[in-house]
Amino acid sequence: MISVAMTTYNGEKYIRKQIESILNQSMKVDEIIVCDDGSTDKTVEILKEYPVTVYQNEKNLGYRLNFKKAMSLCTHEYTFLCDQDDIWEPDKVKTMIEIMQENPNIHVLASSFEYIDSKDNLILMKQKKNFSNNNLYPRFVKSEALVSVGFDEYLPMNYFQGCSLVLDKWIKDLVLKNFDDRLPHDWRISMIASSYQGMFFFNKALFKYRLHDNNSIGVEYLTQSTSEHIQKANSANIRMQNSANALIVLEDIEKVNPAFYASREKEFKNLKQFLVQHNKNLENKNFFGLLKQNTSPFYKLIKTKKARIMDLIFALKK
């Protein structure tokens, strides 16, 4: 009934703790599929000590295509995505599977998590007002509440790491059939599920997410200095990122869920026009064009009030 799709690359330092945390779950998993992306350390050697199925890639695929391969090799009704260096809480599988079974409308379920460092020490986060999921999700969700995540929320960015997700076979097969690596795999999974009203978030920490220098995808702002953040925010590419992402999301969903797209076709076409013009305004530092766009409700879909103000400041800096 339960598969785990794990990808590895030079993960010898932490892989034992991750594997053992999966094997020691209160609800047992039926298979652990590991796709190794060309490790040169002892990762594969360590994995062979455990009851897991290891596939070694002939060439390096990168994390997006490697997760696609791992998911495609999973054979059961539910698939958990898994990194090589986290630690699962003992009831993670049981808790999430019970929620999925009690709510058949859920196709993808994300949980929250706790940060740990390289020595397993907790990294405490000060919770921002109106945020949850360690400030990654800009919405207040009560502790242990289960909430639906809407499609529009996924236009500018993703909020839940792949290692927080479990997905049913229907959505897994749909994602694999329409795989596109322009966006991270976890973003596409959640975004597609949300278009079918099947993406949910359970606000309880069910695993420990490790932060260290070798994360393939880290949470960058935690280790980024203020000056680095400001410098990046003042680049046109960064300021255009949300709108560029939203254009990809709209293009993807038109192919993957045409009925949903058709139900909002006029709105989505107008949104596309807004996004294209927005990028032009940023590229040309068109202050008055951006000021005019601030009257559009589309701007609020892709950026916070603070980000909209920063766009205007960016346009004034010649």
End position of a domain, from candidates 188, 203, 222: 222
Cα–Cα distance measured from residue 87 to residue 231, given in angstroms and rounded to the nearest whole number: 34
Please give the structure tokens belonging to residue 208. Answer: 């420990």
**pLDDT score for 227:** 44
In terms of domains, do 182 and 304 share one? Answer: no
End position of a domain, from candidates 196, 222, 248: 222
Query: What's the domain count of the chain?
Result: 2
CATH number of the domain that 85 lies in? 3.90.550.10
In terms of domains, do 182 and 256 share one? Answer: no
Convert the pLDDT of each residue in 3-34 to its tens digit: 999 999 999 999 999 999 999 999 999 999 99
**pLDDT score for 38:** 95
Answer yes or no: are the C-beta atoms of 11 and 39 closer than 8 Å: yes
In terms of domains, do 87 and 218 share one? Answer: yes
**pLDDT score for 132:** 96
In terms of domains, do 64 and 197 share one? Answer: yes
Helix, strand, coil tally for the chain in percent (to 5): 45, 20, 35
End position of a domain, from candidates 222, 249, 264: 222
Convert the pLDDT of each residue in 33-54 to its tens digit: 999 999 999 999 999 999 999 9
In terms of domains, do 83 and 199 share one? Answer: yes
In terms of domains, do 214 and 230 share one? Answer: no
**pLDDT score for 76:** 98
Domain hosting residue 83, numbered range = 2-222
What pLDDT tens digit does each residue of the chain (318 aa) get?
Answer: 999 999 999 999 999 999 999 999 999 999 999 999 999 999 999 999 999 999 999 999 999 999 999 999 999 999 999 999 999 999 999 999 999 999 999 999 999 999 999 999 999 988 899 999 999 999 999 999 999 999 999 999 999 999 999 999 999 999 999 999 899 999 999 999 999 999 999 999 999 999 976 654 445 445 444 444 445 556 788 999 999 999 999 999 999 999 999 999 999 999 999 999 999 999 999 999 999 999 999 999 999 999 999 999 999 986
Cα–Cα distance measured from residue 168 to residue 76, given in angstroms and rounded to the nearest whole number: 9
In terms of domains, do 259 and 128 share one? Answer: no
In terms of domains, do 190 and 67 share one? Answer: yes
3-state secondary structure of 3: strand
In angstroms, what CA-CA distances link 242 with 73, 114, 158? 33, 26, 10
Helices 265-283 and 305-316: crossing angle in degrees, nearest 10, is 40
In terms of domains, do 137 and 251 share one? Answer: no
